[in-house]
Amino acid sequence: MVHTDNVLRAITDDGAFRVIAADTTATVRGALQAQQVKTRELTRTFADLLTGAVLVRESMAPDNRLQAILQGDNPRARMIADTHPDGATRGLVQLPADVSAMPLGENGLLQIARTLSNGSLHQGVVRVPAGSNSVSAAFMAYMQESEQTVTMIAIGCHMSNGEVAAAGGYMVQLLPEVAEGPLAVMTERLKDFEDIVPLLARGRASPEELLAETLYGMPFTKVGDRPVSFGCRCSPDRLAMSLASLPRADIESLMEEGKTLEIECDYCRKKYDFTQQQLRSLIESN
Ligand SMILES: [Zn+2]
Protein backbone atom coordinates (compact mmCIF):
# COMPACT_ATOMS: atom_id res chain seq x y z
CA MET A 1 0.00 0.00 0.00
CA VAL A 2 1.29 3.45 -0.86
CA HIS A 3 1.74 5.52 2.25
CA THR A 4 0.08 8.94 2.09
CA ASP A 5 0.89 11.77 4.47
CA ASN A 6 -1.45 14.32 5.97
CA VAL A 7 -1.62 17.15 8.46
CA LEU A 8 -4.53 17.68 10.85
CA ARG A 9 -5.58 20.81 12.69
CA ALA A 10 -7.86 20.82 15.74
CA ILE A 11 -9.08 23.30 18.36
CA THR A 12 -10.35 22.37 21.80
CA ASP A 13 -13.99 23.24 22.29
CA ASP A 14 -13.12 25.57 25.19
CA GLY A 15 -10.92 27.57 22.80
CA ALA A 16 -7.81 27.02 24.94
CA PHE A 17 -5.58 24.98 22.64
CA ARG A 18 -4.85 24.43 19.03
CA VAL A 19 -3.05 21.28 17.91
CA ILE A 20 -1.52 20.57 14.53
CA ALA A 21 -0.25 17.05 13.87
CA ALA A 22 1.51 15.79 10.76
CA ASP A 23 2.62 12.53 9.28
CA THR A 24 5.47 13.28 6.86
CA THR A 25 6.87 9.78 6.33
CA ALA A 26 6.46 9.51 2.55
CA THR A 27 7.34 13.18 2.02
CA VAL A 28 10.60 12.79 3.93
CA ARG A 29 11.46 9.58 2.08
CA GLY A 30 10.93 11.27 -1.30
CA ALA A 31 13.03 14.29 -0.37
CA LEU A 32 15.80 12.12 1.08
CA GLN A 33 15.97 10.00 -2.03
CA ALA A 34 16.33 13.09 -4.23
CA GLN A 35 19.02 14.61 -1.96
CA GLN A 36 21.05 11.44 -1.33
CA VAL A 37 21.62 12.27 2.34
CA LYS A 38 24.51 10.20 3.67
CA THR A 39 24.39 9.96 7.47
CA ARG A 40 21.75 9.22 10.10
CA GLU A 41 22.35 12.55 11.79
CA LEU A 42 21.86 14.51 8.56
CA THR A 43 18.82 12.40 7.73
CA ARG A 44 17.23 13.30 11.07
CA THR A 45 18.03 16.98 10.76
CA PHE A 46 16.63 17.12 7.23
CA ALA A 47 13.51 15.13 8.15
CA ASP A 48 12.84 17.40 11.14
CA LEU A 49 13.26 20.54 9.04
CA LEU A 50 10.72 19.27 6.48
CA THR A 51 8.21 18.28 9.19
CA GLY A 52 8.67 21.56 11.08
CA ALA A 53 8.10 23.56 7.90
CA VAL A 54 4.82 21.72 7.27
CA LEU A 55 3.64 22.34 10.86
CA VAL A 56 4.56 26.02 10.83
CA ARG A 57 2.97 26.60 7.42
CA GLU A 58 -0.20 24.92 8.62
CA SER A 59 -0.18 27.14 11.71
CA MET A 60 0.71 30.51 10.18
CA ALA A 61 0.18 30.35 6.47
CA PRO A 62 -1.97 27.36 5.48
CA ASP A 63 -2.91 29.01 2.19
CA ASN A 64 0.55 30.23 1.35
CA ARG A 65 3.99 28.91 0.60
CA LEU A 66 6.58 28.66 3.37
CA GLN A 67 10.31 28.09 3.19
CA ALA A 68 12.48 27.15 6.15
CA ILE A 69 16.22 27.57 5.78
CA LEU A 70 18.48 26.00 8.37
CA GLN A 71 22.09 27.10 8.57
CA GLY A 72 24.55 25.05 10.60
CA ASP A 73 27.35 26.22 12.87
CA ASN A 74 29.33 26.14 9.65
CA PRO A 75 27.58 28.87 7.62
CA ARG A 76 28.34 26.99 4.41
CA ALA A 77 26.15 24.07 5.54
CA ARG A 78 22.49 24.69 4.73
CA MET A 79 19.24 22.84 4.34
CA ILE A 80 16.03 24.19 2.85
CA ALA A 81 12.44 22.99 3.17
CA ASP A 82 9.88 24.43 0.78
CA THR A 83 6.21 23.65 1.36
CA HIS A 84 3.09 24.71 -0.56
CA PRO A 85 -0.59 24.96 0.42
CA ASP A 86 -1.51 21.89 -1.65
CA GLY A 87 0.94 19.95 0.52
CA ALA A 88 3.67 19.58 -2.10
CA THR A 89 6.90 19.78 -0.14
CA ARG A 90 10.50 19.55 -1.26
CA GLY A 91 13.92 20.09 0.23
CA LEU A 92 17.52 20.85 -0.55
CA VAL A 93 20.69 19.85 1.29
CA GLN A 94 23.68 22.06 0.55
CA LEU A 95 26.85 20.83 2.19
CA PRO A 96 30.38 21.70 1.11
CA ALA A 97 32.14 18.64 -0.33
CA ASP A 98 34.44 18.32 2.71
CA VAL A 99 31.62 18.47 5.27
CA SER A 100 29.66 15.41 6.39
CA ALA A 101 27.92 16.73 9.52
CA MET A 102 25.82 19.76 10.34
CA PRO A 103 25.93 20.67 14.04
CA LEU A 104 23.60 23.56 14.97
CA GLY A 105 24.07 24.20 18.67
CA GLU A 106 26.62 27.03 18.51
CA ASN A 107 25.84 29.37 15.62
CA GLY A 108 22.94 27.65 13.90
CA LEU A 109 20.19 29.83 12.39
CA LEU A 110 16.65 29.10 11.29
CA GLN A 111 15.14 31.47 8.76
CA ILE A 112 11.47 31.32 7.81
CA ALA A 113 10.17 33.00 4.68
CA ARG A 114 6.47 32.95 3.94
CA THR A 115 4.38 34.53 1.27
CA LEU A 116 1.60 36.69 2.68
CA SER A 117 -1.86 36.75 1.11
CA ASN A 118 -1.08 40.10 -0.56
CA GLY A 119 1.88 38.42 -2.29
CA SER A 120 4.62 40.10 -0.24
CA LEU A 121 7.28 38.11 1.53
CA HIS A 122 7.62 37.98 5.31
CA GLN A 123 10.94 36.79 6.71
CA GLY A 124 12.16 36.10 10.19
CA VAL A 125 15.30 34.55 11.55
CA VAL A 126 16.12 33.02 14.93
CA ARG A 127 19.19 31.50 16.44
CA VAL A 128 19.02 27.78 17.20
CA PRO A 129 18.85 27.79 21.04
CA ALA A 130 22.43 27.48 22.32
CA GLY A 131 23.52 23.95 23.03
CA SER A 132 20.20 22.42 21.94
CA ASN A 133 21.32 21.16 18.53
CA SER A 134 17.60 20.63 17.97
CA VAL A 135 15.43 21.53 15.01
CA SER A 136 12.29 21.34 17.22
CA ALA A 137 13.82 23.86 19.62
CA ALA A 138 14.65 26.17 16.72
CA PHE A 139 11.06 26.07 15.44
CA MET A 140 9.76 26.70 18.98
CA ALA A 141 12.04 29.71 19.29
CA TYR A 142 10.73 30.99 15.97
CA MET A 143 7.09 30.62 16.99
CA GLN A 144 7.79 32.32 20.31
CA GLU A 145 9.49 35.30 18.69
CA SER A 146 7.25 35.78 15.70
CA GLU A 147 3.87 34.88 17.20
CA GLN A 148 4.43 35.67 20.88
CA THR A 149 2.38 32.61 21.72
CA VAL A 150 3.57 29.68 23.77
CA THR A 151 4.03 26.84 21.33
CA MET A 152 5.24 23.36 22.08
CA ILE A 153 6.65 21.46 19.16
CA ALA A 154 7.82 17.86 19.00
CA ILE A 155 9.23 16.57 15.74
CA GLY A 156 10.89 13.24 15.09
CA CYS A 157 12.02 10.62 12.66
CA HIS A 158 12.32 6.94 13.43
CA MET A 159 14.90 5.03 11.43
CA SER A 160 15.13 1.32 10.96
CA ASN A 161 17.85 -0.46 8.94
CA GLY A 162 19.10 2.91 7.71
CA GLU A 163 15.69 3.81 6.25
CA VAL A 164 13.06 6.25 7.47
CA ALA A 165 10.31 4.10 8.97
CA ALA A 166 8.19 6.99 10.23
CA ALA A 167 8.45 10.78 10.43
CA GLY A 168 6.10 13.36 11.84
CA GLY A 169 5.36 15.73 14.65
CA TYR A 170 2.91 17.94 16.44
CA MET A 171 2.54 21.51 17.62
CA VAL A 172 0.38 22.60 20.55
CA GLN A 173 -0.45 26.30 20.82
CA LEU A 174 -2.04 28.04 23.74
CA LEU A 175 -4.71 30.34 22.42
CA PRO A 176 -5.15 33.75 24.08
CA GLU A 177 -8.13 32.66 26.21
CA VAL A 178 -6.10 30.07 28.06
CA ALA A 179 -6.22 30.12 31.84
CA GLU A 180 -3.43 28.85 34.06
CA GLY A 181 -5.24 25.64 35.02
CA PRO A 182 -5.41 23.97 31.60
CA LEU A 183 -1.94 25.28 30.76
CA ALA A 184 -0.45 23.45 33.74
CA VAL A 185 -2.33 20.27 32.81
CA MET A 186 -1.13 20.47 29.21
CA THR A 187 2.48 21.20 30.15
CA GLU A 188 2.49 18.19 32.45
CA ARG A 189 0.89 15.94 29.84
CA LEU A 190 3.23 16.91 27.02
CA LYS A 191 6.26 15.92 29.09
CA ASP A 192 5.37 12.35 28.10
CA PHE A 193 5.45 13.20 24.40
CA GLU A 194 8.32 15.66 24.25
CA ASP A 195 10.26 13.06 22.35
CA ILE A 196 7.89 11.50 19.84
CA VAL A 197 10.40 9.07 18.37
CA PRO A 198 9.22 6.26 20.71
CA LEU A 199 5.63 6.82 19.47
CA LEU A 200 6.83 6.81 15.87
CA ALA A 201 8.77 3.61 16.52
CA ARG A 202 5.66 1.91 17.88
CA GLY A 203 3.61 3.05 14.88
CA ARG A 204 1.46 5.15 17.22
CA ALA A 205 2.13 8.61 15.83
CA SER A 206 -0.46 9.07 13.10
CA PRO A 207 -1.96 12.59 13.17
CA GLU A 208 -5.20 11.09 14.56
CA GLU A 209 -3.33 9.36 17.37
CA LEU A 210 -1.25 12.45 18.15
CA LEU A 211 -4.43 14.50 18.48
CA ALA A 212 -5.99 11.85 20.70
CA GLU A 213 -2.89 11.67 22.93
CA THR A 214 -2.24 15.40 23.31
CA LEU A 215 -5.92 16.29 23.77
CA TYR A 216 -6.92 13.25 25.81
CA GLY A 217 -10.10 14.01 27.77
CA MET A 218 -10.55 17.43 26.18
CA PRO A 219 -13.41 17.81 23.71
CA PHE A 220 -12.04 19.14 20.43
CA THR A 221 -13.10 19.77 16.86
CA LYS A 222 -11.03 19.00 13.80
CA VAL A 223 -10.81 22.11 11.67
CA GLY A 224 -8.52 20.94 8.91
CA ASP A 225 -7.17 17.86 7.19
CA ARG A 226 -4.80 18.35 4.30
CA PRO A 227 -2.60 16.07 2.26
CA VAL A 228 1.20 16.39 2.39
CA SER A 229 3.47 14.89 -0.25
CA PHE A 230 6.91 15.10 -1.75
CA GLY A 231 6.55 17.30 -4.78
CA CYS A 232 8.50 19.78 -6.83
CA ARG A 233 7.24 22.70 -8.86
CA CYS A 234 10.03 22.71 -11.40
CA SER A 235 9.16 22.90 -15.10
CA PRO A 236 10.97 23.62 -18.39
CA ASP A 237 9.71 27.23 -18.19
CA ARG A 238 10.92 27.74 -14.63
CA LEU A 239 14.37 26.36 -15.39
CA ALA A 240 14.50 28.48 -18.54
CA MET A 241 13.68 31.52 -16.42
CA SER A 242 16.51 30.83 -14.00
CA LEU A 243 18.88 30.17 -16.90
CA ALA A 244 17.82 33.43 -18.51
CA SER A 245 18.75 35.30 -15.34
CA LEU A 246 22.40 34.26 -15.78
CA PRO A 247 24.83 36.74 -17.33
CA ARG A 248 24.99 36.44 -21.10
CA ALA A 249 28.62 35.26 -21.02
CA ASP A 250 27.66 32.36 -18.75
CA ILE A 251 24.95 31.16 -21.12
CA GLU A 252 27.40 31.47 -24.00
CA SER A 253 29.93 29.34 -22.19
CA LEU A 254 27.23 26.72 -21.56
CA MET A 255 26.68 26.68 -25.32
CA GLU A 256 30.35 26.27 -26.20
CA GLU A 257 30.26 22.53 -26.70
CA GLY A 258 27.54 22.97 -29.29
CA LYS A 259 25.47 20.20 -27.75
CA THR A 260 22.10 19.99 -26.06
CA LEU A 261 22.49 21.08 -22.46
CA GLU A 262 21.10 18.86 -19.75
CA ILE A 263 20.11 20.62 -16.54
CA GLU A 264 18.99 18.85 -13.41
CA CYS A 265 16.57 20.31 -10.85
CA ASP A 266 18.47 20.56 -7.54
CA TYR A 267 15.36 19.66 -5.53
CA CYS A 268 13.94 16.62 -7.32
CA ARG A 269 16.74 15.61 -9.76
CA LYS A 270 14.46 15.74 -12.74
CA LYS A 271 16.46 16.39 -15.91
CA TYR A 272 15.60 18.96 -18.55
CA ASP A 273 17.15 19.35 -21.98
CA PHE A 274 17.88 22.70 -23.57
CA THR A 275 18.75 22.69 -27.26
CA GLN A 276 21.22 25.13 -28.79
CA GLN A 277 18.28 26.90 -30.36
CA GLN A 278 16.53 27.32 -27.00
CA LEU A 279 19.72 28.63 -25.42
CA ARG A 280 20.18 31.10 -28.25
CA SER A 281 16.66 32.42 -27.81
CA LEU A 282 17.35 32.85 -24.07
CA ILE A 283 20.31 35.06 -24.91
CA GLU A 284 18.23 37.07 -27.34
CA SER A 285 15.48 37.65 -24.79
CA ASN A 286 18.09 38.43 -22.11
ZN1 LIG B 1 12.27 19.71 -9.42
Q: Would you say residue 121 has pLDDT above 70?
A: yes
What is the share, in percent, of the chain residues with pLDDT greater than 70?
A: 98
Burial 161-197 (b: 16+ CB within 10 A, else e): eeebebbbbbbbbbeeebeeebeeebeebeeebeebb
Cross-strand bridge partners of residue 114: 66, 122
* 175 plus 194 within the same structural domain: yes
For residue 62, the model assigns a pLDDT of 84
* 151 plus 60 within the same structural domain: yes
For residue 258, the model assigns a pLDDT of 81
Distance from residue 5's CA to the centre of ligand 1 (Å): 20
Distance from residue 15's CA to the centre of ligand 1 (Å): 40
* 38 plus 169 within the same structural domain: yes
* 248 plus 173 within the same structural domain: no
Give the number of domains in the chain.
2
109-124 average pLDDT score: 90
For residue 81, the model assigns a pLDDT of 98
* 201 plus 250 within the same structural domain: no
* 190 plus 259 within the same structural domain: no
* 220 plus 240 within the same structural domain: no
Q: What is the mean pLDDT of the chain?
A: 91
For residue 63, the model assigns a pLDDT of 87
* 127 plus 251 within the same structural domain: no
For residue 165, the model assigns a pLDDT of 96
Last residue of a domain, one of 188, 205, 230: 230
Distance from residue 235's CA to the centre of ligand 1 (Å): 7
Burial 122-153 (b: 16+ CB within 10 A, else e): eeeebebbeeebbbbbbbbbbbeebeeebbbb
Q: Would you say residue 1 has pLDDT above 70?
A: no
Distance from residue 36's CA to the centre of ligand 1 (Å): 15
* 50 plus 82 within the same structural domain: yes
Domain that holds residue 223: 5-230
* 135 plus 203 within the same structural domain: yes
CATH number at residue 89: 3.55.30.10
193-204 average pLDDT score: 92
Distance from residue 265's CA to the centre of ligand 1 (Å): 5
CATH number at residue 270: 3.90.1280.10
Please check whether residue 268 is in contact with residue 34, taking contact to mean a CB–CB distance below 8 angstroms: yes
Distance from residue 90's CA to the centre of ligand 1 (Å): 8
233-239 average pLDDT score: 91
Cross-strand bridge partners of residue 124: 112
Q: Which stretches of 80-224 are DSSP H helices?
A: 135-147, 180-190, 197-201, 207-214
Q: Which of 171, 70, 60 is nearest to 116 (CA)?
A: 60
Distance from residue 270's CA to the centre of ligand 1 (Å): 6
Which SS3 state, helix, strand or coil, does residue 52 take?
Answer: helix
Q: Would you say residue 109 has pLDDT above 90?
A: yes
**Separation CA 21–CA 55 (nearest Å):** 7
Last residue of a domain, one of 211, 230, 249: 230
pLDDT tens-digit readout, 186-197: 888 888 888 999
What is the amino acid identity at position 181?
G
Highest-confidence segment of 143-152, 160-169, 181-190: 160-169
* 280 plus 172 within the same structural domain: no
pLDDT tens-digit readout, 3-54: 899 999 999 998 889 999 999 999 999 999 999 998 999 999 999 999 999 9
pTM confidence score: 0.93
Q: Would you say residue 244 has pLDDT above 80?
A: yes
* 262 plus 131 within the same structural domain: no
Distance from residue 6's CA to the centre of ligand 1 (Å): 21
